[in-house]
A and B are shown apart, each in its own frame.
Chain A
Amino acid sequence: MFNTIMIPVDLAHQDRLSKALQCAADLARHYKAKVIYVGVAAATPSSIAHSPEEFKKKMAEFAASQAEMHGIAAEAHAMISHDPATDLDPTLLKAVKETRADLVVMASHIPNLTDYIWPSNGGTIAGHADASVMVVRD
């Protein structure tokens, strides 16, 4: 049913991703699909990487370790954004197009008061992406 599963990952908060990562891997095995891990970063240094190149390398390493751990086919796709705090939604939507994913698996928090002002990324992607979207609550 699905060929390419995209999952956005924040390398700085891997602990909050375990359910979504497991879910994506299980689905990938079931549908014999490929998983593409998408990371978004600014060109400025961050706690993850000092430069875009280093970020790209870390993403590739992350994808490789996931592939080995779950026995799935995996790739990394690094995106650069000028302002990741506000640009995340459009950047992820662009990533859906670029990766030609037909399923997006996303971790998301339980909606709270702030979602009226800042809608959750999971909700926005589900509302706008062409692909199917599965939002995994943490």
Chain B
Amino acid sequence: MTDDSENQGIPEPEGEVALIETDYEIGQDNVDGSVGPFGFDIHNPVFMISGLSIVLFVFYTLALPEQSGVVFSWLFTTVTTSFDWFFIGAANIFVLFCFLLIVTPYGRVRLGGADATPDYSYIGWFAMLFAAGMGIGLMFYGVSEPMSHFSSSFGGVAMGEDGVRTDWAPLGGAEGDQVEAVRLGMAATIFHWGLHPWAIYAVVALSLALFSYNKGLPLTIRSAFYPILGERVWGWWGHVIDTLAVFATLFGLATSLGFGATQANAGLNELFGVPTGSTTEVILISAITAVALISVLRGLDGGVKVLSEINMGLAIALLIFVLLVGPTLLLLTGFVDYLVAYVQYLPQLANPLGREDVNFTQGWTAFYWAWWISWSPFVGMFIARVSRGRTVREFVICVLLIPSLVCVLWMSVFGGIAIDQVVSDGYTVAQEAALELKLFKMLDQLPLVQITSLIGIVLVIVFFVTSSDSGSLVIDTITAGGKVDAPVPQRVFWCVFEGAVAIVLLLSAGGLKSLQSMVISTGLPFTVVLLMMCWAIWKGLSTEAH
């Protein structure tokens, strides 16, 4: 053997792990061959079912845009009104479960074996966590969400004739009380971007990392269910779980791509007068998907990682710029104030039962939870792939607490300055603008607006690219039965179809609403999957040395 101290080959034995003994061989159900010159290696039947359904779905929505629009809108209303309590309750369980993992001895288990060492530095790791996790969302909602909650809280409660609230204020609102309206608005925003989403990601990521690195099972969602289902996970139970994960990922991604496209379009319109509308959005999605394809071909280290680091640099620059040219002290004290407000309002906001603020819980919270849950297989698998060598405690703290704090900072600065423009300067343009425009209208009041708006657009587009790229990577791995070295044309297929789904849903009668309703409907069954996953993680950890 060559001397290991000087080469970069596989590290020496990495300490004890409790492998799961199974006769299943990774890729045993796969079909490989080639279509013309293009090779493939796919899982049967997960690829077939999910691929065919998506293709049929695209054609159905294109052929009957009116009818499908009605169906999507019905789905959205039905699921959010009947199951809002379920989403809210489940998300609370995920947060509590993560805190439990931090404090129990299971936190000492190391992913990849007792002596495994991390492959990525903290910086590269966090850059990828954010770019994959919520990049586009932070751009889309950074200004618009705090502003919306502030406005609706300030407006107070309004009752409809049937005794159901018609206002969108969180909790009881804060009618006429500006200070309290700001606090409540920020607390509600932080609630949607803080602990809960990251707990959802952490659960999925941890289960994937644990069951593949420590247990030797394939890197797919079904592996986490081995402690519960045993050998049955390789049969139809597993097929269903993996197919659900593919649907959730695809629609979750398409929604973000839809948001990204509408916002990039709005920004380009502001800066260069590019016309808004579905034609521009379709061109944007197509063009950005083409860029994503290049990134797909460059792979994990050459594509996603590089782009994520560029984007993190740009996002930090924009954050610091806004912080410095804005009312710096106010924004920084705001960070602390809003954190306190978050802690104060958290028990009420997280309460799943007997809520009167139905528009808020159904239209905002339930949608967010479904969105994060539908993103979780994607972000989770992505986090799992770059997290080998970390302990469970380090992992949960890093995935749960640090991104939450960064989100709080982001929201405090972007939301804080926009609200301050209303409160102190009486500048209400951002308040009245459409959701996708609010960021640019806020930047309008600051110096160097041409440059900052351009950075804003670039950020949206690059986040779009990283999401589309890493999403293709993840869906490809699931539909290849956990193989990470399947032929690259498969990733290209998924990358193209993510764009296609985003386009047809934007074109359908409901537009963004259609995207959101698909997210909600695929997020619901996947919530059940996630709840069972918590139990599986617990059982899996109990057999590891800790």
Task: Check A45 for interface membership: any CB of B closer than 8 A.
Answer: yes
- CB within 8 A of A77: which of B7, B12, B484? B7
Most buried by A among B6, B11, B300: B300
What 0/1 readout, one digit per residue, does chain B (1-39) give for beta carbons within 8 Å of chain A? 110001111111110010100000111100000001111
Asked whether A113 lies within 8 Å of B483 as measured between CB atoms, the reply is no
Cross-chain contact B216 with A51 (CB below 8 angstroms): yes
Q: Nearest CB to that of A87 among chain B residues?
A: B299
CA distance A128 to B39 in the complex (A): 25
Nearest B residue (CB) for A79: B9
Task: Compute how far the CA of A37 lies from the CA of B215 in the bound complex, rounded to whole angstroms.
Answer: 27
> In the complex, A21 Cα to B298 Cα: how many Å?
29
Selected from A12, A45, A82, A112, the residue in CB contact (under 8 A) with B216 is A45
Distance in angstroms from B38 CB to nearest chain A CB is: 6
> Which of A44, A82, A86 neighbours the largest number of chain B CB atoms within 10 Å of its CB?
A44
The listed residue (A12, A45, A84) touching B212 by CB distance below 8 A is A45
Contact of A44 among B113, B219, B487 (CB under 8 A): B219
**A82's closest neighbor in chain B, by CB?**
B300
Q: Does A47 contact B113, Cβ atoms closer than 8 Å? A: no
Q: A47 with B26: in contact, given A86-B300, A98-B2 (CB under 8 Å)?
A: yes
Q: Cβ of A77: which chain B residues have Cβ within 8 Å of it?
A: 1-2, 7, 9
- Kindly list chain B residues whose C-beta atoms are within 8 Å of the C-beta of A45: 26, 212, 216-219, 482
- Complex Cα distance, B12 from A51, in Å, reads 11
Contact A53 B298, CB 8 Å, known A84-B484, A85-B484: no
Question: Residues of B contacting A78 with CB < 8 Å?
Answer: 9-10
Number of A-B contacts (CB under 8 A): 117
Chain A: minimal CB distance from B41 (Å):
10
Taking the closest CB of chain B, its distance from the CB of A120, in whole angstroms, is 12
Instruction: Give chain A residues whose Cβ lies under 8 Å from the Cβ of B17.
Output: 51
Quick check: is A73 within 8 A (CB to CB) of the other chain? no
Point out the residue from B38, B217, B385 that lies within 8 Å of A82, measured CB to CB.
B385
The CA-CA distance from A105 to B213 in the complex, in Å, is 32
A80 to B12, CA, bound (A): 12
Q: Is B297 positioned at the interface, with any CB of A under 8 Å from its CB?
A: yes
Instruction: List, in ascending order, chain B residues with CB within 8 A of A75's CB.
Output: 1-2
28 contacts between A and B (CB under 8 A): A42-B484, A45-B212, A45-B219, A46-B483, A47-B27, A47-B28, A51-B113, A51-B216, A52-B10, A52-B11, A77-B1, A77-B2, A78-B9, A79-B8, A80-B11, A82-B119, A82-B299, A82-B385, A83-B299, A83-B300, A84-B484, A84-B485, A85-B484, A87-B302, A94-B8, A112-B37, A113-B36, A114-B489
Of B10, B13, B482, B487, the contact of A85 (CB 8 Å cutoff): B487
B10 neighbours in A (Cβ, 8 Å): 41, 52-53, 55-56, 78-80
Query: Separation in Å of the A83 CB from the closest CB of chain B?
Result: 4
* Chain A contacts with B in 33-63, Cβ cutoff 8 A: 36, 41-47, 50-53, 55-56, 60
How far is A78 from B302 in the complex, measured between Cα atoms in Å? 21
Q: Which residues of A contact B299 (CB under 8 A)?
A: 82-83, 85-87
Q: Is B486 an interface residue (CB 8 A)?
A: yes
Determine the main DSSP class of B at the interface with A: loop
Given known pairs A53-B13, A77-B2, A99-B2, the reply for A44 and B8 (CB within 8 Å) is no
CB-nearest residue of chain B relative to A49? B216
Q: Which residue on chain B has the smallest CB distance to residue A116? A: B37
Chain B residues near A60 (CB, 8 Å)? 1
Residue in A closest to B298 when the chains form the complex, CB atoms: A86
- A7 → B minimal CB distance (Å): 15
Task: Give bound CA distance, A43 to B117, whole Å.
Answer: 12
Contact B486 A85 (CB under 8 A): yes
Report the minimal beta-carbon distance from A58 to chain B, rounded to whole angstroms.
11
Nearest B residue to A54 by beta-carbon distance?
A: B216
The residue of chain B having its C-beta at the shortest distance from the C-beta of A10 within the complex is B485
The docked-state distance in angstroms from the alpha carbon of A80 to that of B217 is 18
- Asked whether A44 and B488 contact (CB < 8 A) given A77-B2, A87-B299, A94-B8, the answer is no
Q: Are A98 and B7 in contact (CB under 8 A)?
A: yes
In the assembled complex, how far is the CB of residue A73 from the closest CB belonging to chain B, in whole angstroms? Answer: 12
For B7, B12, B25, B219, the residue with the greatest tally of chain A CB atoms inside 10 Å of its CB is B7
For the complex, what is the distance from the CA of A19 to the CA of B31, rounded to whole Å? Answer: 25
Q: Which residues of A contact B36 (CB under 8 A)?
A: 113
B149 sits at the interface (CB 8 A): no
Chain B residues near A117 (CB, 8 Å)? Answer: 297
Given A82-B300, A85-B486, A98-B7, A51:B14 Cβ within 8 A: yes
Closest beta carbon of chain B to A122's beta carbon, Å? 15
B112 at the interface (CB under 8 A from A): yes
**Nearest Cβ in chain A — how far from B174, in angstroms?**
49
Q: Is the CB of B37 within 8 A of A87?
A: no
* B384-422 interface bits toward A, Cβ cutoff 8 Å, 1 = contact, 0 = none: 011010000000000000000000000000000000000
Nearest Cβ on chain A to B473's Cβ, whole angstroms: 8
In the bound complex, residues from chain B placing their C-beta under 8 Å from that of A56 are 9-10
User: Is B301 among interface residues, defined by CB-CB distance under 8 A?
Assistant: yes
Nearest-neighbour CB distance to chain B for A12, whole angstroms, equals 8
A46 CB, nearest partner CB in chain B, Å: 6
In the assembled complex, the Cα of A117 lies from the Cα of B37 at a distance in Å of 11
Give 20 A-B pairs besides A44-B219, A51-B213, A53-B14 with Cβ atoms closer than 8 angstroms.
A43-B112, A45-B217, A46-B26, A46-B485, A47-B483, A52-B10, A55-B10, A56-B10, A75-B1, A75-B2, A77-B7, A80-B9, A82-B119, A82-B300, A84-B484, A85-B488, A98-B2, A113-B36, A114-B39, A118-B488
